[in-house]
Structure 1
Amino acid sequence: MNGIEALKHYPDPSPAKDRLLLAMLPGMGIKIEDFATQGLVKLAHAARQAVDVITVKPDQTLYLDGGVAQVLEQTILTPAREAGYRRVWLLGISLGGMGALSCAAKYGDNIEGLILLAPFFGTQGTVAELREAGGFAAWRPEASAATPPEREIISWLQTRLAGAPGPGLWLGHATRDRFATGHRLLAETLPPSKTVEVDGGHDWAAWRMAFQALMARAPFG
């Protein structure tokens, strides 16, 4: 498939007709099968809703040129609408979080919610800009040295966090994650009920623990 390295479906075993689609996007060095072997697919299937899971890995070059959102729209969002899904969520780990945010920035009307696990949304320099500005609300894109994809994501987050309509945001992160500074800046702007910080690093143990804690809060209703 053009722009997609790998894709795999995990239908919910429930016979329920009212179903939700959750697309899981991996970070660098993560295989799409890892979502199943590491237990995230099972956790999603344990939700009160029937949750069909699709794991999808876009070509990593798309994150550099800003093309990841269009490929996800063509691969996930359009087919989901055609299949009759009325509720679509995206889950992104690390770089996959950037993909989920990029897609929401362009096609947010077609996405109900995002689950961001240790998301990468900017380089250390970009996160330092956010911190020095005092957070998302005071950051100014015109003065930023961020890449165009980073500026688009942060600008969208800025307006969404200020109350603009858009997908729901849920964040899971860890105390010793190498991107922890950015995660905490984002967590400060979200309701405490929609953020989880666990003990750990940038690894599956922390991501699984964070996702389990978020799922216990019934993000899908």
Structure 2
Amino acid sequence: MNPTERLEQGADSLLLMLPGALMTPQHMVQAGLFETLSRSGLALDLVAPDLHAEGADNRLALRALEDEWLAPARRRYRRVWLGGISRGGQLALSCWAGRLGAVDGLCLLA
């Protein structure tokens, strides 16, 4: 697995949030996403994987997303949402469009 940031609160739902093209999961931490969710009281776990190693090849990034992140998440969580910022949002939307039913919802940010 690639570097990741996690907020595990024992929830039965997961938001798998994909960083933008020039972002790392640590940028999401620095922007306050993890702290805001932690303080919100929402029953939601948050994981931000680093798919940067897959470069600009969306096929490789989508394969890594499915094999390394979505498949294990579906075994563990009742609901799995996929989100992303910029390129991460485009990857999330591509995944959803190519595999309807693979995720329970989307959270896309420009």
With the length of structure 2 as denominator, give the TM-score of the two structures: 0.83
Query: Is 1:45 aligned to residue 38 of structure 2?
Result: yes
Query: Is 1:60 aligned to residue 55 of structure 2?
Result: yes
Contiguous gaps of at least 5 residues in structure 1: 119-221
User: Which residue of structure 2 lines up, in the alignment, with residue 9 of structure 1?
Assistant: 6
> Does the 8 A contact of 1:19 with 1:49 survive in 2?
no
Query: Is 1:109 aligned to residue 101 of structure 2?
Result: yes
Q: How far apart, CA to CA, are the structure 2 residues paired with 1:9 and 1:111? A: 19
Q: How far apart, CA to CA, are the structure 1 residues paired with 2:56 and 2:39? A: 34
Shift of 1:45: 2.9
Shift of 1:48: 4.8
> Which residue identity does 1:92 align to in structure 2?
G
Shift of 1:92: 0.6
Contiguous gaps of at least 5 residues in structure 2: none
| More strand per residue | 2
> Does the 8 A contact of 1:70 with 1:103 survive in 2?
no
Secondary structure of the 1:29 match is coil
RMSD: 1.9
Shift of 1:60: 2.2
- Distance 1:44-1:107 versus aligned 2 partners, 3 A rule: farther
User: Which residue of structure 2 lines up, in the alignment, with residue 78 of structure 1?
Assistant: 71
> Does the 8 A contact of 1:68 with 1:102 survive in 2?
no
> Does the 8 A contact of 1:21 with 1:51 survive in 2?
yes
Q: How far apart, CA to CA, are the structure 1 residues paired with 2:41 and 2:99? A: 26
> Does the 8 A contact of 1:8 with 1:54 survive in 2?
yes
With the length of structure 1 as denominator, give the TM-score of the two structures: 0.44
Identity of aligned residues (%): 35
> Does the 8 A contact of 1:68 with 1:103 survive in 2?
no
Secondary structure of the 1:81 match is helix
Q: Which has the larger radius of gyration?
A: 1
- Distance 1:42-1:107 versus aligned 2 partners, 3 A rule: farther
> Which residue identity does 1:88 align to in structure 2?
V
- Distance 1:108-1:46 versus aligned 2 partners, 3 A rule: farther
